[in-house]
Amino acid sequence: MRALNRKLLRDAWKHRGQMLSIAAVVSVGIMTVLTMRGAYESLSSSQAQYYRDTRFPDVWVRLERAPESLRGRIAAIPGVSAVNTRVTLVATLDVPSVDVPALGYFVSVTDDRGATLSDLHLSAGRFVSPRRRDEVVVSDKFAIANAFVPGDTLRAVINGRQRDLQIVGTAISPEYTYAVPPGAIYPDDQRFGIVWMHRDALGPAYDMAGAFNEVVLTLSPRADTARVVAQLDRLLEPYGGLGAYTRMDQPSHFILAGELNQVRSMGTMIPAVFLTVAAFLLNIVLGRMIATQRTEVAVLKAFGYSDLEVGRHYLQFALVAVLLGALIGIAMGSWLGQSMVGLYGEFFTFPTLRYEFSWILAVLAVGVSALAAAAGALGAVRRAVALPPAEAMRPEPPTSFRPGVFERLGLGRLLPVAGRLILRNVERTPCAASPRPSASAFRSRSWSSGCSCSTACNT
C-alpha cells in the first residue's frame, strides 16, 4: 500500500468520530433511496405485471341498465380494443363475526376468463361453476378478516331476497388492490368485501338477465382516450350512463398511483436532504482538517506531489465516508425495503409482491452520494490545492482585523478587551456570528485561524 494511502486510512481513523457522523448521514440517504425507491420499483413493477397479466381496463362506466345487444356498438367505437359488460351491485352480508351488517360489492364474472378484463387471481379454492347459482368467490382479505374458507356459507340480501351463498374460492382482482367500502377512505376488510358471482346467477338475481349496468373496456395503444370517453358517454346516456372514467379516477388505482408517487417523491427528497447535510459536514470537517494539515500539504507539494494528487488524497476522505455510509446504507436499505414492501402488502393486494434489491439503484445511490460528498469537499480541497507550497510552509498569517463601526465611533474604550474581541469577531464575520453571537467570544481562537467561520459562510 502506498504511504499516502496509509496516511489516508490513519487520518480517517484519527477523525473516526466525524467520519462516522458523516457516514451515518450518507447511510441514511442511501438507505432511504434503497427503501423508498426500492419499494417504489418493486410496487410499480408488480403493479405493471399484474395489470398486464389480468388485462386491467382503461375505462369504466356505470349505468342504470342497458341491453346486452349494446355491447357490439360499444366495441365499434374507434379506439376500443376489448369490452366486458357486467352486473355489479352492493348487497348486505350477514357475517357471523361482525355485529353490524357487512357490505358486499357483487361483480358478475363469466366462464370466458381468457377474454375477461380484470381477471381474477385465485388464492384458494376454485372458480364459480356456471351450473351452480349459489356459488361465489370472495375477496382474499375479506375472507381472511372473517376466517372464511372455501366451503363456508355466506348469507346475503340481494335485491331484497335473502340468499345463502356457497364460498368456493378466494381471489384478488387488480380493480380492488386497495378495496374501500363505498364512501370510506380506509379499507375495512371485516365489513366490506368483493363477491364475484357468475353472470348467469347474478344477472337474474338482480333483474339484469340479458342486461348489464357496468362496462369496462381496454383501449388500443394509439386510442384517443378523451374521444372514446365522450363517445361512450353519448352512447350510454339514454341508458342512465353515469359518466365514463379512466384509470386515473378508478378508486383502487387512484390510491395506489398516489401512494407510488408519494414513495417516489420521498425516495428523492429525503436522500437529497441528507446528502446535502453530508456535503455540508464534509466541507466543514475537511476544511478544518486541511487547515490543520497546512504544512503537510506543503511537504507533499514540495516533494513533487501534484495538485491533482494532493486534491485526490483529500477527496478520498470524502469517499471513505461515502464508502462507509454505503455499506451501512445498503445493508439497512435492503432490510428496510423488504419490511416496507411487506407493509405495503398488508394494504395492497398483489399476486406477487416482493422487494427486489436493485444493484443499479444501489450503484446510482452511492454514485450520487459520492458526487454530493465530492461537491461538499471540493471547496476545502480547492483551498488546499491552491496554496503555493512556499506559502503553505509558513505559518498562516494573522487574520486581518480592523476597528469596526463601534470603535470608529470612539465607543470601543467603553468595552473591556474581551468585549472588543467579541465585537471585532462579530463585525468581521457577521454571517457566522449572527445565529449565536454570545458564543463567538469562545470561538474566537478558531475564527482567528480563519477556518470554521469562513467555511460556514462560504458553504
Partner 1 sequence: MTPVSESLRAAAGTQRVPVFRARGVSKVYDMGEVKVHALKAVDLDLFQGELLVLLGASGSGKSTLLNILGGLDVPTSGTVVYRDHDLSAADERELTRYRREHVGFVFQFYNLIPSLTARENVELVTDIARAPMPATQALDLVGLADRMDHFPAQLSGGEQQRVAIARAVAKRPDVLLCDEPTGALDLETGKRVLAVLEQVNREVGTTIAIITHNAAIGALGDRVIRMSSGVIVEHVRNERRASLDEIQW
Residue type, 45: S
Closest by CA to 453, choosing from 424, 417, 418, is: 424
14 versus 113: smaller Cβ distance to partner 1: 14
390 versus 431: smaller Cβ distance to partner 1: 390
Distance between CA 449 and CA 290 in Å, rounded?
12
Q: How far is the CB of 387 from partner 1 (least distance, A)?
A: 11
Indicate the DSSP class of residue 36: I
Size of the site for partner 1 (CB under 8 A): 25
Q: How far is the CB of 2 from partner 1 (least distance, A)?
A: 5
87 versus 320: smaller Cβ distance to partner 1: 320
Q: How far is the CB of 349 from partner 1 (least distance, A)?
A: 58
Indicate the DSSP class of residue 129: P
Q: How far is the CB of 324 from partner 1 (least distance, A)?
A: 19
- Determine, following the binding rule CB under 8 A, whether residue 298 of this chain makes contact with partner 1: yes
Print the binding letters for residues 369-388 with partner 1: x by CB under 8 A, - otherwise: -------------------x
- Determine, following the binding rule CB under 8 A, whether residue 304 of this chain makes contact with partner 1: yes
Stretch that binds partner 1, among 10-18, 172-180, 193-201, 365-373 (CB under 8 A): 10-18
Of 69, 183, 185, 303, which lies in the binding site for partner 1, with binding defined by CB under 8 A?
Answer: 303
14 versus 73: smaller Cβ distance to partner 1: 14
- Determine, following the binding rule CB under 8 A, whether residue 289 of this chain makes contact with partner 1: no
Of 216, 263, 282, 300, which lies in the binding site for partner 1, with binding defined by CB under 8 A?
Answer: 300
Near partner 1 in 13-52, by CB under 8 A? 14
- Determine, following the binding rule CB under 8 A, whether residue 311 of this chain makes contact with partner 1: no
* Cβ atoms of 325 and 18 closer than 8 Å: no
With 0-12 CB in 10 A as exposed, 13-18 as middle and 19+ as buried, what is 420?
middle
* Cβ atoms of 71 and 85 closer than 8 Å: yes
* Cβ atoms of 200 and 161 closer than 8 Å: no
Q: Which residue shows C-alpha cell 356456471?
A: 130
- Determine, following the binding rule CB under 8 A, whether residue 292 of this chain makes contact with partner 1: no
Distance between CA 302 and CA 321 in Å, rounded?
28
Q: How far is the CB of 420 from partner 1 (least distance, A)?
A: 22
From residue 454, alpha-carbon distances to 48, 286, 379, 439, 447 in Å are: 52, 13, 11, 16, 8
Parallel/antiparallel/unpaired status of strands 102-109 and 88-94: antiparallel
Of 4, 272, 374, 456, which lies in the binding site for partner 1, with binding defined by CB under 8 A?
Answer: 4
Residues in the chain, total: 459
* Cβ atoms of 282 and 377 closer than 8 Å: yes
Please report, as ranges, the residues that interact with partner 1 according to CB under 8 A.
2-4, 6-7, 10-11, 14, 295-296, 298-307, 309, 388-390, 393
